[in-house]
Structure 1
Amino acid sequence: MRYVLLFLISLSAGYAQDFVWTPGLQSAYADLQKLKIQSAKQRMARESARDGVRIFLDDYADMLLLVTSDDDRLFAAKSEQESTRLDALKKLSDTSPWQRVLIAEVRLHWAFVKLKFGKELSASWDVIRAYKLLSENQKRFPDFLPTYKSLGTLHIMIGSVPESYVWVAKLLGMQGTIRQGQQELQRAQHDPNVGLEAQLIDLMVRAYVLKFSDTDRQTLARLVSQNPDNLLLHFFGATIEQKNGRGEQALTYLLNRPADKNYQPLPVVENILGDIYLQKGEYERASLHFNQFLHAYRGQNFLKDTYYKLFLCHWLASPQNTRSSDTIARNLLQKVLSVGRTTVESDKVAQKFAESSLKNAPASGQKILMQARLASDGGFTDQALTYLRPYSEASFSTTAERAEYNYRMGRIYQRRENPDSAISYLARALTLSETDQLSFGATAALQLGYIYQQKNDRARAQSFFQKALTFRHHEYKNSVDNKAKAGISSL
């Protein structure tokens, strides 16, 4: 009996060593979250290759390399690592609350990677399997906080699925609400290992799925200032602020980002800088950054978008059409059609614009609307109003242009915190868009939902969120539907 007990104790001690956050692995994880991938790998090389935490962090490093490079050859070379690492983790103790969490994390890493490389079906299965693992872990270890980082994220994603697709989630055994997911992310932020990542995910969800508040913005600014050596935080801070129409703050985050040879190269930063300068109307400077991005980047995403933006720089900077100017513009539009792929939404928009513009050259009215759109999207509302003030709805010849004029004016006043002036313009954009199901109608309905939500008029807010969901087949449907569904859930 004594020898049996000794054997069981030694066996359980061995299992206890399956998932150990050693000081070296904690430092490696911190480095990965800063995008210091090579230094993290050096730290990990000194740790046991059998430790489940080490296996997870090796996978985390590969995920970061793949999503920051978008390199198809690197993806092909590393894609077999998913099954190798999953097999290694499955051999470790299933009595540890870490086992299912880390298997789920590896699956979610590869789901994210596969989405970047256009493997949507395989990515979906990874997400489903990760969800089931995390749900099981929650039942077995309800007080284990790391479970809630990714489970909360998945519950938010499920909760924001458009109504017409809810049955699919239920059929697959996936349930969750936005409120539930937010509460779980809040819990995960108290964990010493995954707390920072959970906090960043929470902010990104608020920015991309929900509504980003002034309190959220202050939290983001504090987080970035407290972590001046964290490149990932500066990058995501910039993308969040750019997404929310605060181009100047996004520019500040990028210009103050840490930059030396210890950090993973991020060519996409040049693309974002180009976007901001394009919004500011600094076309030559924007073109420089877009070309620097093309020189450094090895992926297939964002290529169509970048050549589209180079076309905009040329077109908007040209005071009048000439034969040579038209040739350059046409060549850039042809380039949009010949490069990259249409996996990400911005590339789909670029492809559609190029196809349309090569058939019918953009009219002068479209140039004014584009300048106003870019300035407004970046939060440069004084400049946007300067573009549009000389015009009225009657100045534009097509229904689409008139709808866009009203939508742009509404968004400008909304960004200037003048919702009452915004409402009439957005409502007019919605009316003009309904017959032809223009995207301006869907986005106008979404913004009207937000305005009435702020006014605490829940009935009108819900009706406009529902209205946004009725628009079909527009280029922003996925993002608009997700946000409209999230808006309904939050009421």
Structure 2
Amino acid sequence: MLKPLRIKRYTKYLFLCCCLAVPNLALANFDFNANCLKAYQNIFELKLATARQLIANEKKVHPNNSIVPLLENYVDYFYLITTESKTEFDRLEANKSARIDQISDDDKTSPYYLYAQAEINLQWALIRGRYGAYLTAAREINRANNMLQDNSKKFPGFHLNGKGLGLINAVIGALPDGFLKSTLSTFGLRGNLQQGLNMLDKLAENLPKSSYEPFYEETVFYYAYVLSDVAKSPQAYAKTMKYTARIADSSLLKSYLQAYVCTRNGHNDEAIEILTNRPSGAYYQAFPYLDYLMGIAKLNKLDYSASASFDRFLQTNKGVNYIKDANLHLGWIALLKGDDAGYNAYAAKAKSSGYTYQERDKQALNDANAPVPNKNLLKARLLFDGAYLSKAAELLNGTNADDYTSPKDKAEYYYRLGRINDDLGKDELALANYQNAINVGKNLKYYYAAKAAIQMGKIYEKSNPAKAKASFNTAIGMKNHEYESSIEAEAKQGLKRLGN
């Protein structure tokens, strides 16, 4: 069960407002008053309709308060994250310039002057990046970074600068080589993943002890994203659960963060429990992705009732992402239930519907175009993703490589067995499995061999830096396979850790 609510009752807002409303924090037209704080809190509970009403009231009472356009942008940002709608993105994007204009005409002596503009630029860059608009996103990231750097020099005690700077450092530091990274480099931006993580960790640790405590949830939101998706940190689960524990159970964003990190880090049953008990009602922004996430978690334990969650996602989703992947998962359910025709029908939908902005949709398209998956390997893959390691090992240990006829299946067999033994702490077995995956799959278009080399490098990091370096370089040397850019980036991070 989720831990009980420890803080955040609206009766505290007047006190918090007084803490914030000191001369260097809330000057005339940047007034983060009690009403604004209440709207901000509702945004981070994903009660967007309530937040919109509070913001509208603030505009009537204080039409020149330049915190309002910042809050309006937060609402748009989370609305677009939860809807995944490219159409809504195109409609709402026009709001950006008017908000920046209002803020840029205001009090230049306030720490919120540059901070608010930087936040708006950064939020639009993050959304834009989801749709591949990398050039404009790079410009916005550069603009946000410059503003936050300037603001840090002018107001070194304004701790909120560290939130955006930590995020920018981490994301740029982990970017694979490609258009976005090269474009950012032309602006002189060179990130550092560890530095970004350190900045966000320090903020998450210290904000509750300061007058900036109301901004804690936002910091944790970005920190959890960086830990899980950017750094792929082994500490992602522990740190996310630690820092989200003090957020109100009434926050749907908390349920999302916790469930997401649980599904990504081997706490599958906990994810199902969190999603089952998540807050609901008319006050909350619709969030179809959570049904998709429930489907993933259920199927990871081979619970075929997952189909209802995927169906609900496809029926309520108005966005462009995870459509291919949801259809592919429905196809897997059909296949595992013995319905080959059903699998073929869903695989066809995975090819024809949805988009490929997200990596999961790109991989779903690859899987749909590949030969029909081996059922035994598919079950092992799903069980491993849910961290049901003993069950997955039992499945594969009952077979051997000769039971699989195609090179693809042989490579996957060794790779899956390697991952299972790796997570079970059986390093020598894992290394042998990974080497076999490389031997069989190094010239195939599938990711198994390159990812096996990455995993070998991580094992060797603990005891043999030279072999670790060789393994990471092996991964980099493999070309023309799935996930090539992200695997290469992961290998380069490994080399960086080794001091190369």
Q: What TM-score do you get using the length of structure 1 for normalisation?
A: 0.88
In structure 2, distance between residues paired with 1:267 and 1:474: 32
Q: 1:31 to 1:479 in 2, by over 3 A?
A: farther
How far residue 121 of structure 1 moved from its aligned partner, in angstroms, is: 3.1
Q: Which moved more, 1:294-303 or 1:138-147?
A: 138-147
SS, match of residue 174 in structure 1: coil
Q: Is the aligned partner of 1:42 residue 2:53?
A: yes
Q: 1:338 to 1:436 in 2, by over 3 A?
A: closer
How far residue 30 of structure 1 moved from its aligned partner, in angstroms, is: 1.6
How far residue 378 of structure 1 moved from its aligned partner, in angstroms, is: 1.2
8 Å Cα contact 2:220/2:244 also seen in 1: no
2:66 to 47, 52, 58: 52
- Residues 153-192 of structure 1: pairs in structure 2 closer than 5 A: 153-162=167-176, 168-189=183-204, 190-191=206-207, 192=212
1:391 aligns with: 399
8 Å Cα contact 1:111/1:122 also seen in 2: yes
2:357 to 340, 343, 348: 343
Q: Which moved more, 1:241-250 or 1:325-334?
A: 325-334
1:305-339 deviation digits (Å, cap 9, x = unpaired): 11111111101111xxxxxx443332222212221
Q: Is the aligned partner of 1:328 residue 2:349?
A: no
2:375 to 349, 367, 378: 367
2:496 aligns with: 489
- Residues 24-173 of structure 1: pairs in structure 2 closer than 5 A: 24-47=35-58, 48-162=62-176, 168-173=183-188
1:400 to 384, 391, 408: 408
1:23-59 deviation digits (Å, cap 9, x = unpaired): 1111221221111112222222222243222211110
Q: 1:463 to 1:150 in 2, by over 3 A?
A: farther
1:431 aligns with: 439
SS, match of residue 16 in structure 1: coil
1:3 aligns with: none
- Residues 244-323 of structure 1: pairs in structure 2 closer than 5 A: 244-283=265-304, 285-318=305-338
Matched to 2:487, the amino acid is V
1:212 to 233, 236, 240: 233
Q: Which moved more, 1:97-106 or 1:465-474?
A: 465-474
SS, match of residue 228 in structure 2: helix
1:69-113 deviation digits (Å, cap 9, x = unpaired): 122332232120011111111111222222222111111211222
8 Å Cα contact 1:97/1:137 also seen in 2: yes
SS, match of residue 17 in structure 1: coil
Q: 1:108 to 1:220 in 2, by over 3 A?
A: same
8 Å Cα contact 1:251/1:273 also seen in 2: yes
How far residue 418 of structure 1 moved from its aligned partner, in angstroms, is: 2.7
8 Å Cα contact 2:324/2:361 also seen in 1: yes
In structure 1, distance between residues paired with 2:274 and 2:481: 32
SS, match of residue 370 in structure 2: helix
How far residue 445 of structure 1 moved from its aligned partner, in angstroms, is: 1.8
Q: Is the aligned partner of 1:16 residue 2:27?
A: yes
In structure 1, distance between residues paired with 2:464 and 2:156: 38
What are the ranges of 5 or more consecutive residues in structure 2 without an aligned counterpart?
A: 1-22
1:258-304 deviation digits (Å, cap 9, x = unpaired): 22222111111111111112121122x01111101111111121111
Matched to 1:443, the amino acid is K
8 Å Cα contact 1:439/1:471 also seen in 2: no
In structure 2, distance between residues paired with 1:80 and 1:163: 31
1:185-211 deviation digits (Å, cap 9, x = unpaired): 234333414333223322332222335
How far residue 167 of structure 1 moved from its aligned partner, in angstroms, is: 5.6
Q: 1:122 to 1:176 in 2, by over 3 A?
A: closer
Q: 1:35 to 1:473 in 2, by over 3 A?
A: farther
8 Å Cα contact 2:334/2:340 also seen in 1: no
In structure 2, distance between residues paired with 1:50 and 1:368: 63
Q: Which moved more, 1:269-278 or 1:72-81?
A: 72-81
Q: 1:297 to 1:402 in 2, by over 3 A?
A: same
In structure 1, distance between residues paired with 2:66 and 2:478: 47
Q: Is the aligned partner of 1:458 residue 2:472?
A: no
8 Å Cα contact 1:70/1:117 also seen in 2: no
SS, match of residue 152 in structure 2: helix
How far residue 164 of structure 1 moved from its aligned partner, in angstroms, is: 7.4
How far residue 168 of structure 1 moved from its aligned partner, in angstroms, is: 4.8
Matched to 1:464, the amino acid is S
Q: 1:16 to 1:338 in 2, by over 3 A?
A: same
Q: 1:342 to 1:317 in 2, by over 3 A?
A: same
How far residue 373 of structure 1 moved from its aligned partner, in angstroms, is: 0.7
In structure 1, distance between residues paired with 2:183 and 2:467: 29
2:18 aligns with: none
Matched to 2:239, the amino acid is T
1:416 aligns with: 424
In structure 1, distance between residues paired with 2:147 and 2:476: 32
Matched to 1:56, the amino acid is L
How many pairs align?
Answer: 465
8 Å Cα contact 1:437/1:471 also seen in 2: no
2:9 aligns with: none
1:148-193 deviation digits (Å, cap 9, x = unpaired): 1111111112222346776654322102312221232234333414
8 Å Cα contact 1:35/1:232 also seen in 2: yes
In structure 1, distance between residues paired with 2:36 and 2:464: 50
In structure 2, distance between residues paired with 1:209 and 1:483: 10
In structure 1, distance between residues paired with 2:156 and 2:465: 35
8 Å Cα contact 1:410/1:423 also seen in 2: yes
In structure 2, distance between residues paired with 1:222 and 1:441: 35
Q: 1:471 to 1:136 in 2, by over 3 A?
A: farther
8 Å Cα contact 2:324/2:354 also seen in 1: yes
Q: 1:470 to 1:139 in 2, by over 3 A?
A: farther
In structure 1, distance between residues paired with 2:473 and 2:175: 13
Q: Which moved more, 1:87-96 or 1:479-488?
A: 479-488
Matched to 2:469, the amino acid is Q
Q: 1:485 to 1:261 in 2, by over 3 A?
A: farther
